[in-house]
Every structure is written in structure tokens, then in C-alpha cells.
Amino acid sequence: MTNLPDDTRAALGALLGSRLSLSDSDRALHGRSETHIPDAPPDAVAYPETTEEVAGIVRICAAAGVPLIGWGVGSSLEGHALAAKGGVTVDFTRMAKVLEVHPEDMVARVQPGITREALNTELRATGLMFPVDPGANATLGGMAATRASGTTAVRYGTMRDNVLGLEAVLADGRVIRTGTAAPKSSAGYDLTGLFVGAEGTLGLITELTLRLHGQPEAISAAVCAFPAMEPAVETVILTIQSGIPMARIEFIDAATVAAFNAQSGAGMPEQPHLMIEFHGSEAGVAEQAARFGEIADEMGAEGFQWAAQAEDRSKLWKMRHEAYHSILRQRPGATAWVTDVCVPISRLAEAVEETRAEIAASSIPGPILGHVGDGNFHAILLTDPGDAREEAEAKRLAANMADRALRLGGTVTGEHGIGLGKLDYMEREHGAGWDVMGEIKRALDPKNLMNPGKMVRQDAG
Amino acid sequence: MTNLPDDTRAALGALLGSRLSLSDSDRALHGRSETHIPDAPPDAVAYPETTEEVAGIVRICAAAGVPLIGWGVGSSLEGHALAAKGGVTVDFTRMAKVLEVHPEDMVARVQPGITREALNTELRATGLMFPVDPGANATLGGMAATRASGTTAVRYGTMRDNVLGLEAVLADGRVIRTGTAAPKSSAGYDLTGLFVGAEGTLGLITELTLRLHGQPEAISAAVCAFPAMEPAVETVILTIQSGIPMARIEFIDAATVAAFNAQSGAGMPEQPHLMIEFHGSEAGVAEQAARFGEIADEMGAEGFQWAAQAEDRSKLWKMRHEAYHSILRQRPGATAWVTDVCVPISRLAEAVEETRAEIAASSIPGPILGHVGDGNFHAILLTDPGDAREEAEAKRLAANMADRALRLGGTVTGEHGIGLGKLDYMEREHGAGWDVMGEIKRALDPKNLMNPGKMVRQDAG
């Protein structure tokens, strides 16, 4: 059943024809998240093909006070794309083209519905790539809206660093273009930066201008084991301080290794590991790998396995990317609570160790892994669905991780965003800054139509 | 004479004692810019020592509707710090401390009044540096407010990329803290990014958390001549595309070289030149320099001079940093119109060549130089003060440069900002996005007290 007013439904139908979907199955599909956040289906799903159609949808909905929620592939982990207040979900599946690639400028203009894998497939022949890699094959629009990052941020930055400009439809149907194709600008407020990470609460992103990077001439990757977590983290700190430019550096704990072994027969020793990758010239990569090897050796690393072949590397990173599902399969039928905190590197060992000890003393499993070059790590807490005691335990552990991150000078989310899952921490992380966010929200979306129920203080609309 | 209301003056005097200055000379000093922008002195100058004092000043001024303008060292080139609507200039000279350095996290907390040279002097022993280098020995607060960059942005990014967080006093005296000391976050709107580049129109920055970088193990710098501008620019494009990580790459035209020769007896051939620098390990730098040399050779570069010694390098960059003053001395008593456009790299040769030809055909001199790795360049137009014909010519050339940058997909300012000099271009660069900036400004500063007369549409307050 949909709550869409009849005239709104008629106007949207006239604009979109069969590209307005009211079916229960489609609504259910767009009301579901990958994690513990409860379902919240929209009243309708719209499939626009142009910015003008998006603006039309927004104007029709705005006239009736109907909320609007953007949708990429639904891989968000905090329920960002759930229709918390009902309304129309705008699914960008049909706006998934690469519009332009400028190899000389290392810039591409894309529609928001393209996935990062599809984009990189299209870029392959240009010698360029878009490096931000959150693991899931997310859309670029979704990645921009949540300020995603992932394994390569330590080298290439997050979406904040790789979106040069964008087009967005505002709450009143106006279309703005931010940024330019020039590499930098100091012309006015950074609206690009404001919309990246705004989780669709200020407008719907309808186009992105992306910074591309050269495909590295040479790549070298390795995995090595450590006797404990601290020397692994210490290795990361020393590597960063030595100025060795890592392209990826991932920490996985013994429980995550156990999941890999169970899933893919990796046969790795069940100890903490680092997985690393270097990008550069042949000589550069060889030098970087050698210097890293020296540091890791000194810290007691063992069983170095270098993957110089593309095939071996892709096996390595596939295993890492599938960690979430491998861990889930360790407890069939379980619900995942994917935490995501980020702390200053100097506090990382402390943050991970306290977290590990607390999970070990709890009643639920929670393997730990993360993008340790950024101080960012996750525990994947597994609960039995419907087991209230376990759910309370997961909530307690997640809340303690967030508190710990704040106490250590960090943030409650390194890359997953706020969505519905982390609103409760905004006051503590931002103080009066959270009110300022609300003031900006009200200035740009006074009727609270764009992804309502998220991001800002809810009592203030 | 000051227009400050008596009770405001009394309240500020009670708060600051002798650190409230009403003297004509001090006001004149804070009402002057380096360039062609006419003087606009404030009614008073305040020298706070703490964030609490800044908040007190703001509350006193807000109660009386008195404008507030931030001041670093006054090296802005677009009149940002001039008191366009009178009011109180807040001079951060007495808030110039390094508060904390965390070498492991490569992060420093500083007050806004510290200059980049003073900061780097304090950092020297840590093995770290703050690389953003706009040439002038500007304050970090001013650099953040104008989103400054300069010679090293091609490698290390701009202020946008190197400010992790900040503290600011808002128009109503509230103090907010944005960002954390963690390397990344996706918790909410990017308020840090909003205040960086806001030119003091949303609040006064009272503290900055900065991303530091390791002092490079090895540095290599060189200068080489090209037969014309195009092959120099082509060399830059090829170097970027080859993924050779330049730390600086500067273009200087024949007229700039002539100024260097006149100023410092550099004895360089009066042709276009590139000045470059590489940072890395000994082996890495040697490889990068060799690969760059091959590309430059192919493009017809001549007379390579490598400066491996620190002394030779500092001579080279001193010459570059003093370009503005060397060029000014080419026409004693002249007024400078320092233009600043940034275009996609693929349009750089075209943008520079059209600009060069137009200046050559004009009645005034205008050497060209720039941070070509970013597509950013400047013409320094020199006019005889009071010569209306020459001033009109400078205005015409500057306006045409801005139009050209927009036509080629770029921005009217790569790094100098808007200030009073570039308000007229905001509509053309941003369209409806400029209105959004005004909406944000009104939400955060409804009485238009923070650096009024700047940044947003003026008819809308």
C-alpha cells in the first residue's frame, strides 16, 4: 500500500510513465538495508533518465510535501537510503553513463548511477582509473553522498578529494552546478564539498566531475603475519612516517583470517595480518616494497607472500573485499552490525586492542579489520536475529567503540556515514557544529523534504 | 576618525584594554592592500589573545551591528581583509602559537596568526613540514580563509586538503569545532571545508588542525628553458600523465625572466622556463628527475641547471617567490593588478597563449607566471597610478582572462580568492550556486556582520 497523494501519483505517472513503480516488491527492495537497520520502504520508486526529470520529480513532490530519497545500489551500511518518513525513492539505475572522459585533464564527467566497477571498465583503455574503492560495487552517486573511501584512501584520498564538481537538484527543483574541471579553485564556498557527504539531505546529485588517476605502471602486493596486533599497527605508523607511499594497507585480525580460511581455503596462519599494495614505476615499487619489508621484519613480521602477478593480487583483494560476507557465513543466518570508527594513527593500537578485548569478553563474535593507514577500522558484530540479549550486546559494543573513538580524538564514522545508524552520536562528535548543520539544512531545504529523518537534529525538523 | 558607537568602544576597551587600537595609523595599516584595490580602513583594530576574547569581541560587535573582519598579515591580493563596510578588524598577531604537534599522527594544532615560515621553523626538528606555500609569508588563518595554495599544491594539495579541522567563532559568538585529528571522517556536513575558503564571511577562524607531511629525504630541483610556451606546457602535461610526482612545477615567461635578470643578475636566457622540484627518497628523486629530463629533452628543453644543493635550491625558489616584487620593480611606482585564473590542463597552452598575445597587443606590461601543474597562472599587469586609460586597460585584460578561464571550463580564481576584486564574476562562474552561497551566508550570519561586502550577492545583504 502506498501513501502517495493521488494527484502526486498522477503527476509523477504523467512524467515518468512505467518508470514510476508502485509495486510492493519494488518498494520492499528499496526499503531494505544490508545490516541491522529495520526496513522502511518508500511509497513509490522513480527511475528518471535525465536531470530535468529529476527536477520534475522534485517539484511535484515538493508541492505535496512528499519526501525524496536517492538510491544507488543500496549497499550503504547505515540505512541512508531507507525511506524513514516514506516518500519517493529516486533510483539512478537509468542515469549510469560516462558522459565525458578528458584523458589530458584526468577528469571524467559521469552520471550518479554508474558503479565504480563499470566506470573502471570504461576507463580501462585510457590508461586512467578511478581509485576510490569501498569494497562494495557501489554507485558513484552513493559513494559521493556518503563520502565513501575504502582500501585506497591512504594513497588516493576519499570521495571528498576525488570529486571536483557536481550537479545537484535542490529541494525546490533548482539545478546547480558546483566546481569546475580545473584542478583547484578558490572561488566561493566549497559547495562541492558540502554536497559530498551530505547523504542526500541537501539535494539529489545528478552528475559528478571526477578526478582520475593514472593506472600504475607497476603494482606489488603482499600479505604478512604478525605475532600480535600492536607490531602490525606499529609497522603501519613507521611506514607512513618514512614517507613510503602505500596504495593500500589493511589490517585483518585472527578471527577475520579464520573466516578467510573457512571461506576460500586460504590456509593462512590464524594471526593478525597486514595486506599491502604499492603503486608506481617498476623501480619505485621495488624500492618501496623493500623498505616496507625491512620495517615489517624489524617488527617481527613472518611468512611474507608477495603477489607480483595480477592474478595473485586480484585473489588477495577479492578475499579482502569478500571479508564481510565470509565473516557473515561464519554464523549462518546472523545479522551484521558493521561498526566504523577512525582515530588518529597514534591511538590506533590502543583503540583496536581495547575493542578486541571488549568483544572477546562479550557474548557475540566480532572480527576486526580496517584501513589502518587511515586509522579506520571495523568490527563486524554478529547477532542471532531476534535475540534481544545479543542485540543489546551489539549495541553496547558499537556505542563503546564510538565513545572510544571520540575519547581518542577521532570520529564515530570514518567512511560509512551517519544514515539512521549514527544520528545519536552527532551531538557528541560535533557539539554546536551539529546545530550549524541544521541551520544549513533548513536554509537549503526548509520543508525538510530531502532524505528526512537523517543527518540533523530531528526535533528541529 | 572612527564611527564605532561609544558603548561598543567602551565595551571593547573594557575587554581588551590597550589591545583595542583606534589610532589613525593602525587603522590605515589595516585598511590597505598590496594591489590596486582602494583603501578601506576599519573603525578599530582588536588584538585578541584567546578564543574567548574573540567570542567576546564578536558578541559586543553583534549587539551593535558592527562588522567584523579578520586580519593575518594583509598579504591577500583581492582586498579580502579591507573593511569595506567599516567595523572592527580582528588582528590575530597575538594568537600565533603552535598549540600541539603530534609527530606520530603528522598533525599540528595552531593558532591562526602564525605564519607559514614560523610554523615550519618550529616543525624543523620533528622531521615534518607544512608544505602549502603561497609565496608570501602569510598566516595560516589567512591561508585557510582564502583557500590558498601556491607552488607545492601539485604534490601536497591546497589548504582545502591540509586543514583537518578548525575552531571558529560564529556571528552570534558561538564557538564551534569542526573535524577531528583522525585522517578522515564521514560524520556529517563538511563544515571544515565550508569555512576554508569562506574568507571570514561565516565566522572567524581561531584555531586550525593541520595535516603535516614528512620532510623529504631527498630533494632535487632544476630550471630549464624552452623555445616557446607550448612545449613547456606540453612537458607539464606529459609529466603528469606519466605519473611522475612533481613537488613543484612553475612556468615563467620571458618577461618574468627579464625581471629576474634585472633584479638578481640571474643571467638566464630571456625565454619561457620551467622551474621544477622533486621530493622523495634518494633513488626515487633521481629516477623522477631522469624521467622528467627525458620528456623535457624531447620537447626541446635547453640549458638544464640542476640544483642538488640546498643553497642553490633556496636561491632558485627565493627568485620565484620574489617574482612579484621583481616584476613591480620593472616599472617603479606602478600599481599591480595580479590576475589569477585556473583552467583544465588541456586548455592551459591555449589560455596562456591567448593571454600573452592580448597583453602584448595592449598598452601595458604583464609578465605571466604560474603553477602550471595545477593549470593555474597569473599575469601581473602594471599600471601607472592615476592613469585612467591604463587602469581601464588592466581591467579589460583581467576581465578577458576571467572570461577566457570560464569559457575553457576553468575558474576565475585558482588560489587568490574573491575578496573585493572578483565579486563581479561570481554570477557567471556559479549561476544558481551563487544564490545557494547567499542562503548559507544568511543562515549563519543573518545580520551580515562577518566581513560584509564580500563573497555573496550584495543586493541580498
> Could you tell me whether strands B128-129 and B98-102 are parallel, antiparallel, or unpaired per DSSP bridges?
unpaired
pLDDT in tens, B168-202: 999 999 999 999 999 999 999 999 999 999 999 99
pLDDT of residue A461: 42
Residues of B in contact with A103 (CB under 8 A): 241
- Between CA B320 and CA B264 the distance in angstroms is 11
Determine phi and psi for A346, rounding to 5 degrees.
Answer: -65, -20
pLDDT in tens, A292-310: 999 999 999 998 888 878 8
Partner-chain residue, chosen from A194, A342, A422, that has the shortest CB–CB distance to B194: A194
In a shared domain, residues B206 and B102: yes
In a shared domain, residues B208 and B121: yes
Residues of B in contact with A243 (CB under 8 A): 214, 216-217, 280-281
Asked whether residue A398 is assigned to any structural domain, the reply reads no
pLDDT of residue A2: 64
| Contact between B181 and B164 (Cβ < 8 Å) | yes
pLDDT of A1 over the 60 cut: no
User: At A236, which CATH number?
Assistant: 3.30.70.3450
| Contact between B148 and B138 (Cβ < 8 Å) | yes
**Interchain pair A193, B194: CB under 8 A:** yes
The CA distance from A370 to the nearest CA of chain B, in Å, is 13
**Interchain pair B214, A243: CB under 8 A:** yes
pLDDT in tens, B198-215: 999 999 999 999 999 999
**Interchain pair B189, A440: CB under 8 A:** yes
**Interchain pair B455, A344: CB under 8 A:** no
**Interchain pair A186, B147: CB under 8 A:** yes
Which of the pair, A12 or B283, is modelled with greater confidence?
Answer: A12
**Interchain pair A241, B106: CB under 8 A:** yes
| Contact between B107 and B96 (Cβ < 8 Å) | no
- Between CA A198 and CA B330 the distance in angstroms is 50
| Confidence band of B35 (pLDDT split at 50, 70, 90) | confident
User: At A142, which CATH number?
Assistant: 3.30.465.10
Query: Final residue of a domain: which of A172, A197, A214?
Result: A214
| Contact between B445 and A445 (Cβ < 8 Å) | no
Asked whether residue A440 is assigned to any structural domain, the reply reads no
The torsion defined by the Cα of A128, A133, A138 and A140, in degrees rounded to 10, comes to -50
In a shared domain, residues B336 and B320: no
Q: Which of B101, B155, B163, B184 should we substitute to test contact with A (largest number of A Cβ atoms within 10 Å)?
A: B184
Q: Determine the average pLDDT of the residues in A370-393.
A: 95
**Domain, as residue range, for B58:** 6-93
Determine phi and psi for A302, rounding to 5 degrees.
Answer: -135, 160
Percent of chain B at pLDDT exceeding 90: 88
Computed over every residue of chain A, the mean pLDDT equals 95
pLDDT of residue A35: 81
**Interchain pair A104, B345: CB under 8 A:** yes
pLDDT of residue B461: 42
Q: Which of A178, A189, A439 should we substitute to test contact with B (largest number of B Cβ atoms within 10 Å)?
A: A189
| Contact between A382 and A334 (Cβ < 8 Å) | yes
Partner-chain residue, chosen from A178, A185, A439, that has the shortest CB–CB distance to B342: A185
**Interchain pair B414, A185: CB under 8 A:** yes
CB pairs under 8 A between A and B: 290
Partner-chain residue, chosen from B146, B157, B237, that has the shortest CB–CB distance to A104: B237
- Between CA A134 and CA A132 the distance in angstroms is 7
Partner-chain residue, chosen from A196, A287, A417, that has the shortest CB–CB distance to B284: A287
- Written as one string, the DSSP assignment of A159-228 is HHHHEEEEEEEETTS-EEEEE-SSS---SSS-HHHHHTTSTTSSEEEEEEEEE-EEPPSEEEEEEEE-SS
Q: Which amino acid is at B233?
A: V
User: At B340, which CATH number?
Assistant: 3.30.70.2740
Query: Final residue of a domain: which of B93, B108, B123?
Result: B93
Partner-chain residue, chosen from B105, B283, B409, that has the shortest CB–CB distance to A180: B409
Asked whether residue B20 is assigned to any structural domain, the reply reads yes
**Interchain pair B161, A158: CB under 8 A:** no
Determine phi and psi for B39, rounding to 5 degrees.
Answer: -60, 150
In a shared domain, residues A102 and A87: no
In a shared domain, residues A241 and A307: yes
Which one-letter DSSP state was computed for residue B65? Answer: T
Partner-chain residue, chosen from B105, B127, B216, that has the shortest CB–CB distance to A346: B105
Secondary structure string (H, E, C) spanning A32-90: CCCCCCCCCCCCEEECCCCHHHHHHHHHHHHHHCCCEEEECCCCCCCCCCCCECECEEE
**Interchain pair A174, B432: CB under 8 A:** yes
In a shared domain, residues B110 and B19: no
The CA distance from A339 to the nearest CA of chain B, in Å, is 13
Residue A382's nearest CA partner among A361, A354, A363, A369 is A363
| Confidence band of B2 (pLDDT split at 50, 70, 90) | low
In a shared domain, residues A77 and A123: no
**Interchain pair A436, B158: CB under 8 A:** no
**Interchain pair A429, B188: CB under 8 A:** yes
**Interchain pair A342, B185: CB under 8 A:** yes
Count up the domains in chain A and report the number.
3
Residues of B in contact with A151 (CB under 8 A): none
Determine phi and psi for B352, rounding to 5 degrees.
Answer: -70, -40
CB within 8 Å of A318: residues ≥ 6 apart:
none
- Between CA A218 and CA B369 the distance in angstroms is 35
Residues of A in contact with B107 (CB under 8 A): 344
The CA distance from A461 to the nearest CA of chain B, in Å, is 15
In a shared domain, residues B248 and B164: no
The CA distance from A261 to the nearest CA of chain B, in Å, is 31
3-state secondary structure of B379: strand
**Cross-strand bridge partners of residue B277:** B221, B248
Residue A235's nearest CA partner among A373, A350, A343 is A373
**Interchain pair A240, B440: CB under 8 A:** no
pLDDT of A155 over the 50 cut: yes
**Interchain pair A106, B176: CB under 8 A:** no
ipTM: 0.96
**Interchain pair B177, A442: CB under 8 A:** no
Partner-chain residue, chosen from B182, B197, B442, that has the shortest CB–CB distance to A411: B182
pLDDT in tens, B377-428: 999 999 999 899 999 999 999 999 999 999 999 999 999 999 999 999 999 9
Percent of chain A at pLDDT exceeding 90: 88
Asked whether residue A180 is assigned to any structural domain, the reply reads yes
In a shared domain, residues A46 and A138: no
| Confidence band of B348 (pLDDT split at 50, 70, 90) | very high
**Interchain pair B193, A198: CB under 8 A:** no
Residues of B in contact with A346 (CB under 8 A): 102, 104-105
Asked whether residue A70 is assigned to any structural domain, the reply reads yes
Residues of B in contact with A431 (CB under 8 A): 176-177
**Interchain pair A191, B436: CB under 8 A:** yes
Secondary structure string (H, E, C) spanning A344-413: CHHHHHHHHHHHHHHHHCCCCCCCEEEEHHHCEEEEEEEECCCCHHHHHHHHHHHHHHHHHHHHCCCECC
Q: Determine the average pLDDT of the residues in A275-299.
A: 93
Partner-chain residue, chosen from B241, B287, B417, that has the shortest CB–CB distance to A186: B417
Partner-chain residue, chosen from B177, B412, B425, that has the shortest CB–CB distance to A431: B177
**Interchain pair A182, B413: CB under 8 A:** no
User: At B319, which CATH number?
Assistant: 3.30.70.2190
Task: Compute and round to an integer the Cα radius of gyration of chain B.
Answer: 22
How many CA atoms within 13 Å lie on the side-chain side of B271? 17
**Interchain pair A186, B410: CB under 8 A:** no
In a shared domain, residues A284 and A295: yes
Give the distance, in angstroms, between the CA of residue A233 and the centroid of all CA atoms in the same chain.
Answer: 23
Asked whether residue A198 is assigned to any structural domain, the reply reads yes
Asked whether residue A407 is assigned to any structural domain, the reply reads no
The CA distance from B89 to the nearest CA of chain A, in Å, is 21
The CA distance from B85 to the nearest CA of chain A, in Å, is 20
Asked whether residue B1 is assigned to any structural domain, the reply reads no
CB within 8 Å of B197: residues ≥ 6 apart:
A186, A188, A189, A190, B145, B146, B147, B159, B160, B417
Computed over every residue of chain B, the mean pLDDT equals 95
Grid coordinates of B312:
642553490
3-state secondary structure of B450: strand
pLDDT of B3 over the 90 cut: no
Percent of chain B at pLDDT exceeding 70: 99
In a shared domain, residues A106 and A123: yes
> Which residue in chain B has the smallest CA separation from A236?
B104
The CA distance from B198 to the nearest CA of chain A, in Å, is 5
| Percent helix, strand and coil across chain A, each to the nearest 5 | 40, 20, 40
> Which residue in chain B has the smallest CA separation from A421?
B187
Partner-chain residue, chosen from B157, B184, B291, that has the shortest CB–CB distance to A158: B184
pLDDT in tens, B46-65: 999 999 999 999 999 999 99
In a shared domain, residues A279 and A306: yes
Residues of A in contact with B240 (CB under 8 A): 106
**Interchain pair A413, B194: CB under 8 A:** no
pLDDT of residue A339: 96
Query: Final residue of a domain: which of B93, B118, B150?
Result: B93
**Interchain pair B409, A181: CB under 8 A:** yes
User: At A83, which CATH number?
Assistant: 3.30.43.10
